[in-house]
Amino acid sequence: MVKAHSFYAAKLLADPRSRHARQALATFAPDERAIQLCNIEAMEQIHRWKAELRPDLVVPYATGDLRIAGGSFHAQGGAFRAGGRWYGVVFSCDVTAGAVAAFEFSVGEAIPEARWAEYNLVAGNPED
């Protein structure tokens, strides 16, 4: 597992271009808001770990359950989309006072396209 020492979700959301995302997050229930913060953190952590990966979508429960305990989340069977392909990911994320306070992750193998429908993973690329 790669353990994060810096956290980026708050900085990304503070960017003026993220205004719509901030507005949407404000309407979510607390657990859903925290999950979305963790998803944003996951995308940025993965990109900073391996620059050629630019995740545009995370599904924390794609191939397994998302465990929630207080402000702690563990995605044992997550997936992220980058460059039009899906990859497995495991991550743990702690949210305190509305901000990511701890994060660690491990990127898995590419998920074969033949299995995307099984996991409800959408095809496509944001540039399409």
Residue 71 falls within a domain, yes or no?
Answer: yes
Tell me the two tokens of residue 71.
């402000």
Higher pLDDT: 16 or 116? It is 116
Which residue range forms the structural domain that includes residue 99?
2-115
The structure tokens 């991550």 sit at 91
pLDDT at 128: 45
Cα–Cα distances (Å) from 126 to 56, 80, 85, 87, in that order, read: 7, 13, 12, 16
Total number of domains constituting the chain: 1
For the full predicted model, state whether its pTM sits above 0.85. yes
Tell me the two tokens of residue 81.
């989309």
pLDDT digits (tens, 9 = 90+) for 69-101: 888 999 999 999 999 999 999 999 999 988 999
The domain that holds 69 is classified in CATH as 3.10.450.630
pLDDT digits (tens, 9 = 90+) for 5-57: 999 888 888 888 988 988 888 888 888 889 999 999 999 999 999 999 999 99
